Amino acid sequence: MEKKEILDTSIAIECKEGTISVFTVIEHPPSIDKFEILFPEDVDYIKAIEISEKLRKKGTPIGAVNIMIAAMCINRGARLIAKDKDFEYIKEIYSEFDFRLEI
């Protein structure tokens, strides 16, 4: 079975189909009709707080939306495809975070 890929906003803008988070819809409303949309669950908020605490202790805090997207990917075992290098900080502390940087 192929691993689910979640597209960050910077990638979704260039694509015609795929899976995105609701945060991408908020950032880029035209994407609502083209993609499968994932919504956060309670466990995603808990994971996001954990990620945020670890990033702050390491001295590399990042934005809350990116943390939520990463938490959703980690909890679902999904690969995130993004152009934002901030996600590399999460990969450094969570080896299970499957992240592909597109430049």
pLDDT tens, per residue, the chain with 103 residues: 567 999 999 999 998 889 999 999 999 999 999 999 999 999 999 999 999 999 999 999 999 999 999 999 999 999 999 999 999 999 999 999 999 999 8
24: helix, strand or coil: helix
Q: Which CATH architecture has domain 5-101?
A: 3-Layer(aba) Sandwich (3.40)
- Assigned token pair, 89: 């900080």
- Residue ranges covered by each domain of the chain: 5-101
Q: E strands, 5-103, where? A: 5-7, 19-21, 36-38, 79-82, 98-101
